Amino acid sequence: MAIHLLPPKVASQIAAGEVIERPASVVKELLENSLDAGSHFISITIEGAGRLMIDVADDGCGIPAEELALAVARYATSKLNSAEDLFHITTFGFRGEALASIGSVTRLVITSRPQNSKTGARILIEAGQIGEIQPIGAPVGTVVRVENLFFNLPARLKFLKSDPTERSQISSLVTHYALAYSMVRFHLHQEGKAILKTSGNGNRRETLGTLYDVKIAQQMLEILAEYDDIRVTGYISPTTLTRSNRREIIFFVNGRPIQDISLTTALVQAYHNLLMVGRYPMAVIFLEIPPEAIDVNVHPTKAEVRFRNRDQVFSAVQRAVRVGLMAYNPIPAIHSHWDVLPGQNFIKPTPEQIIDPTWDMSREAGMNSIDQQNRTQTLYPTARSEGSTTSIPLLRLVGQLASTYLVAEGPDGLYLIDQHAAHERILFEQFMAQRMSTIPSQTLLQPMTVHLPPAYDQLLSEQLPILFKLGFQVEPFGPGTYLIRSIPTLLSGSDPAADLRVVVEDFEEDETPLLAEIEARIIARICKKAAVKAGQTLSPDEQRTLLLNLEACSSPRTCPHGRPTMIHLSVDLLERQFGRKGAR
Ligand code: ADP
Ligand code: MG
C-alpha cells in the first residue's frame, strides 16, 4: 500500500481510541471538565453500565453558546495558551481533545449556560458530525450526555468487560475524585440506584466510608507531613488491616489520580517488617507538588505523571507513612520473641525483632542531607480526633532497671520505658509549646566565649536571630568568636559552648531551610542534649515525674527522632510464658 493521509474521520477515531477506552474513561473526562469548570455539585447518571448513557451535570462556569462548536473541536481548549503553560498546569484538561474524541465515537449532546447568560444553548455531535447550535432554557452550568458508546466502532465494544465490571470501574473512579475533592458534592446513580452521595462538606473520612466501609474507614490513620515543597496527606491502614494485593493503594498528585509503581513501592516499603509476607496496606495518599515540578503531559489518559525529582517524592511518601505509622502504632509488643529454652529457667529476648532497627531513621541507608534536614518537620503527625491509640495507659511506677529503663505496670501488663527517649519526647513537646510564646532563657553568670571554624562562623552569624528566639543570646565577638550570654533554661547545667556547637553543626546540613524546620530541628537537638542519659540513676521522684510527663505528651510513644519510647509485655504473654495459659 502506498503512503497516504488517513481521512480525518479515521484519524479522529484513532485519536479517540487513546483517550476513550471504556465507559469509565468517558466519565473521567467529563468529571474532570466539570471540576475544571469550578463546579460545587456534580451529578453523574449511568445507564447500561455506561454503554447506553453517561450523563454528567454540573453547576460550573458553563460554556458560552458561541464557543460550543469550538469546545467539541480537536485541540480547542480554554486552559492552555502556549507550550510554556504546559509546565504550570493546574487544570485536569489542557489538550482540548476529550470532547472531540467522545464526539467521534458516541452521540454527544452538550447543554450549557454560563453564569452571565439568560438562556442556555445545546449542541449535538454524532460520530464526529457537528450539528447546529440551538438556544434552550437551562440552569447555569453544563450537562454533557453521552449515548451509545462505540456504536460506530463495534470492534471496541467487544473489548468491554461485563456490566458489573464496567460499573464498578465507574463507581471507584467517581469515589476517588469525590475523595480528592471533598469540598465538591458528588452524586452517582447507576441504573436508577444511588451509588454515591457525598456532602461536599470537606470531610474526607466520611467519603472514605463509601470507598471502603465505615468500619474500615474509621480505622484508617490520617497522615500529614511536609518536606520542602512536597506535601503528603491522606489515610493509611494500620498494620492490623491488610489486603492481599496493592490494588487499594491510591495516589493523587495535585488532585489527579495517578498510577505510579514506584510510589506504591515507597508506601509498601514503609510497612517493611510490620506486615506479614504477601500482605499489603491500603492507602489514599494526596501529594501536593508545585506544578512546575511535574510533567503531566506524558500519558494519553494522564494516568501517569513524570516527577522532576522522583527520589524526593519517593522519600517524602515513605517518610510520611513511616512517621505516621510510628505515631499511631500500638506500643511495640513482645509477642513470640521471648524464647524459653527447654529445661532452663532462662528467657532470651531478641530485641532486634521487637524494635525494628530500621525505625532509627538516622541510620537509614540512603538518607541524605535533605532527609536529615526535614526530619523534624514530621515530628507531629496530624492529631486525631479519636486520640486513643496515640496515648498511653496510666502507668504505675515499679522502678528503674539498669539505670536506663523505667519499669511500670499498666492495666494490661508490663511496660519498659527508655528513660532517655521518653525524656526527649517530653522536652520536645514542652519546647514546642513554649515556642509559641517565649522560651525561658537563663543568663550565664559569666558570659562565655566560644571559637568556631570559619564554615560554622558563617552559618552561625546568619542564624543568630533564630537562636535568640530559642533562648540562646549569642553575640559576635571578633572573627570566629562568639560571646554566649544566655542559654535556654532547659539546658541549664550543661556546657554552653558544647550546646552551641551541637546546634551549629545542624545548620551545616541546611540547604534551603524553612524557619520552622530549623527551629524544630534545633529543638529536637537541644532536647537530645538535655534529656537524661541512659546509665543515669534517677530518684523515685524523678522517675515518677518522667512517667507523668510522658503520659501528658500528645505523641508519647516515640521520641522526636521516631524511635519507640517504650515496649509492652502483656499479662497474656506472661501467663503463656509461665505456662499458666495454653502452651505456645
Ligand atoms: P480540555 O479539557 O483539555 O480543555 P475538552 O475537550 O475536555 O478539552 O474540553 C474543551 C473545552 O470545553 C474546555 O477547555 C472548556 O473550556 C470547555 N468545557 C468542557 N466541559 C465543560 C464543562 N463541564 N463546563 C465548562 N466548560 C467546559
Ligand atoms: Mg477536558
Compute the radius of gyration of the chain from its Cα atoms: 30
Substitution candidate for ligand 1 out of 19, 27, 31, 33 with most atoms within 8 A of CB: 33
Q: What is the pLDDT at residue 143?
A: 98
Q: What is the pLDDT at residue 507?
A: 65
The three three-digit cell numbers of residue 68, written as one number: 460550543
Q: What is the pLDDT at residue 548?
A: 92
- Rounded Cα distance between 226 and 287, Å, is 10
- Rounded Cα distance between 273 and 247, Å, is 20
Q: What is the pLDDT at residue 516?
A: 65
| Global pTM exceeds 0.75 | no
Residues whose beta carbon lies within 6 Å of some atom of ligand 1: 29, 33-34, 37, 58, 60-63, 71, 76-79, 93-100, 142
Query: What is the whole-number distance in angstroms between the Cα of residue 342 and the centre of ligand 2?
Result: 70
Q: What is the pLDDT at residue 582?
A: 61
pLDDT tens digits, one per residue of 481-535: 899 999 988 887 778 888 887 777 666 554 444 566 667 777 887 888 888 888 8
| Ligand (nearest to CA of 72) | 1
Q: What is the pLDDT at residue 358?
A: 30
Q: DSSP states of 454-483 as a string?
A: HHHHHHHHHHHHHHHHTT-EEEE-STTEEE
Location of C-alpha cell 527520589:
311
Q: What is the pLDDT at residue 303?
A: 85
- Rounded Cα distance between 376 and 372, Å, is 8
User: Which residues make Cβ contacts (< 8 Å) with residue 567, sequence separation at least 6?
Assistant: 331, 332, 333, 334, 354, 355, 415, 416
Three-class secondary structure of residue 383 per DSSP: coil
Average confidence (pLDDT) per 10 residues, the chain, 584 residues: 88 83 95 96 97 97 96 89 83 90 95 95 94 95 97 88 87 91 94 91 86 81 90 92 85 92 92 80 94 86 88 93 80 47 33 31 30 33 41 87 93 92 90 77 90 71 82 86 89 81 66 60 80 90 93 85 84 86 58
Q: What is the pLDDT at residue 102?
A: 95
CA angle 387, 391, 397 (to 5 degrees): 160
pLDDT tens digits, one per residue of 548-563: 999 988 888 888 777 7
The three three-digit cell numbers of residue 571, written as one number: 499479662
- Rounded Cα distance between 103 and 107, Å, is 6
- Rounded Cα distance between 42 and 132, Å, is 27
- Ligand 1 atom nearest the C-alpha of 141 is 24
Query: What is the whole-number distance in angstroms between the Cα of residue 382 and the centre of ligand 1?
Result: 37
Q: DSSP states of 46-87 as a string?
A: EEGGGTSEEEEEE-SS---GGGHHHHTSTT--SS--SGGGGG
- Rounded Cα distance between 470 and 434, Å, is 9
Q: What is the pLDDT at residue 337?
A: 40
Query: What is the whole-number distance in angstroms between the Cα of residue 471 and the centre of ligand 2?
Result: 54
Nearest of 409, 383, 428 to residue 528 by alpha carbon? 428
Q: What is the pLDDT at residue 405?
A: 95
Q: What is the DSSP letter of 186?
A: E
| Ligand (nearest to CA of 111) | 1
Q: What is the pLDDT at residue 498?
A: 80
